[in-house]
Amino acid sequence: MVPLTKIAPGNEFPALPVGAGDRVFVLTGAGISAESGVRTFRDAGGLWEEHRIEDVATPEAFARDPELVWHFYSQRRKQAGSVQPNPAHLALAKLQAQIGERLFLCTQNVDPLHERAGSRDVHHMHGELLKTRCDSCERLPFHDDGAYLDEVPRCDRCGGRLRPHVVWFGEIPFGMGRIYQQLNECDLFPAAGFVSHLRHNPNSRGRFARCIYVGLERPENAHSFDECRLGKAGELLPSLFEVG
């Protein structure tokens, strides 16, 4: 008989033990950045800083009005320069320092807060706000936190238009193969997405990962998790893990 999911305030749970051979997959989303002051889509009342998604966050929007798209992302880059990592970001950096490559840190966020906290090799599945790439040639994405408010930047190799290195609506997230490879290796999964995959697929050692949700509200798929720990990430993550 499958035990019922325990759903309660996060402070009612003990720390999650991380054994010597355990591999941990952590997926972070908008909530962790919101606690540092980064505005989210839902916080903006259905708009992204007074813009419709269709106007600033799709390939069609960039083709139609690249100046508007760059103006929007330039403003977001300015905001990214003014925010700092919170205790949740710092806790994950500490966990990585303790267990090294046995932690796979994957984020849906495009901001650099995990890196500013000290995390390394963060997998940005939706891209990185402070990087730019060419929409015409195979030039590798490069770090570029410049503001382009008046004109669209051009590639100095092919002359094509440069675009923010982010995944827009309608595009495929980066590195899905790597993500599923790491999912198939992990023993502990404190995250919301991909949980159905883990529920139906044991890891490479024949065990099912322990699936934990951490967030402010009960998720719609709460029944898929072993535990739902409710609360702010910045309050729960510093004591979430106990490394053995």
Active-site positions? Answer: 126
Instruction: Give the CA radius of gyration of the chain.
Output: 19
The alpha carbon of 238 is separated from its chain's Cα centroid by a whole number of angstroms, namely 18
Alpha carbons 126 and 143: distance in angstroms, whole number: 15
Which residues, 6+ apart, have CB-to-CB distance to 169 below 8 Å? 53, 57, 58
Neighbouring residues of 29: CB distance < 8 A, sequence distance ≥ 6: 107, 108, 109, 192, 193
Q: What angle do CA 105, 109, 113 make, to 5 degrees?
A: 75
Report the alpha-carbon distance of residue 146 to residue 152 in Å, rounded: 12
Give the type of residue at 141.
P
